[in-house]
Amino acid sequence: MTFPADRPATWFVTGTSRGLGLELVRQLLERGDNVAATTRSTDRLLRALDADTTRLLPLAVDLRDEAAVAQAVRNTTERFGGLDVVVNNAGYGYLAAVEETTDRDVRDMLDVQVIGVWNVLRATLPILREQRGGHVVNVSSVLGLTSVPGWGLYCAGKYALEGLTEALAAEVAEFGVKVTIVEPGYFRTDFLTTDSLALPHATTAAYPAIREMVENHLALQGNQLGDPVRGARLMIERVVSGEGPLRQILGSDSHAYATAKVQALRANLDAAARTASASDFPA
């Protein structure tokens, strides 16, 4: 099945009261599509939207709660009569050294960025698979490809998301279900504000470079390179066209970081080329 041209498509988007998710909802409603939008605060979503909301189903959902996610998907198909596109967008940044990151913080992050996504996938994939068509868009980050000091937990979540999504893409291709991993660089959303970002108290003075990085990132707010309006438009175009590689890189900064990672990985592979076989059983 290709993207429906003869009727409004139905999208299920998570994390929609701010940023990229909010911009996606706005543009999808402008297109005349149906949008089921999950959020922790439907009030915030409705206050932020200045669009015609006739085709909007705002859903207050705790993504960590599998039953609540399944109910939200049922509400979506009941209201709109089907489902075409799933966008797992919800996520948040977390800045601290690895050794400062608590057990609770790790579980909270993975609850949203991995378990929450899995809850959405378990509830939606049977629908897409059985109708033999649809598109899953998982919003990762360039930090799902490369990791930097102070971002260990966020990267752990996004790397996990990338891993499961690569497997998913290969699993569902035969059912006509397309999969895209979106990898934004810095985007001018609420991501780097203290409303969105988790900033645990420093527990050691051992990492002055991380404190400096945190200050620099807070100061970056409002000057990020990425435009959420353009980013959301490109994500929609990618889905509507059905064309493109697995990874949608958004932002020249993202492209540069990803390129540097590939080059470092290439150098690492070259350095290991002679020694990798040393652990093989002899032929």
Q: Which residues pair with 55 in a beta bridge?
A: none
Residue 75 contacts ligand NAP per CB under 6 A: no
The answer to whether the beta carbons of residues 181 and 258 sit under 8 Å apart is: no
Per-residue binder mask for ligand NAP (CB under 6 A), 90-129, x = binder? xxx-------------------x-----------------
CB of 164 to ligand NAP, least distance (A): 14
CB of 16 to ligand NAP, least distance (A): 5
Q: Is 154 a catalytic residue?
A: yes
Q: Is 140 a catalytic residue?
A: yes
Q: On the CB side of 30, how many CA atoms lie within 13 Å of its CA?
A: 13
Q: How far, CA to CA in Å, does 270 sit from each of 25, 42, 267, 278?
A: 45, 51, 5, 15
Among 21, 58, 150, 152, binds ligand NAP (CB under 6 A): 21
With CB atoms as reference, the residue minimizing the distance to ligand NAP is: 19
Q: Which stretch binds ligand NAP (CB under 6 A): 129-137, 164-172, 188-196, 205-213?
A: 188-196
Which amino acid type is present at position 75? N
- For helices 116-131 and 66-80, the axis angle rounded to 10 degrees is 40
Q: How far apart are CA 271 and CA 2, in angstroms?
A: 44
Among 63, 97, 127, 239, binds ligand NAP (CB under 6 A): 63
Q: How far, CA to CA in Å, does 166 sit from each of 82, 155, 172?
A: 25, 16, 10
**Other CB atoms within 10 Å distance of the CB of residue 267:** 10
Residue 196 contacts ligand NAP per CB under 6 A: yes
Residue 89 contacts ligand NAP per CB under 6 A: yes
Q: How many residues bind ligand NAP (CB under 6 A)?
A: 26
Among 10, 16, 146, 180, binds ligand NAP (CB under 6 A): 16
Residue 191 contacts ligand NAP per CB under 6 A: yes
Q: How far apart are CA 170 and CA 29, in angstroms?
A: 31
Q: What is the CA radius of gyration of the chain?
A: 20
Q: Is 277 a catalytic residue?
A: no
Q: On the CB side of 246, how many CA atoms lie within 13 Å of its CA?
A: 12
Site residues for ligand NAP per CB under 6 A: 15-21, 39-41, 63, 89-92, 112, 139, 141, 184, 186-187, 189-191, 196, 224
Residues with catalytic annotation? 140, 154, 158
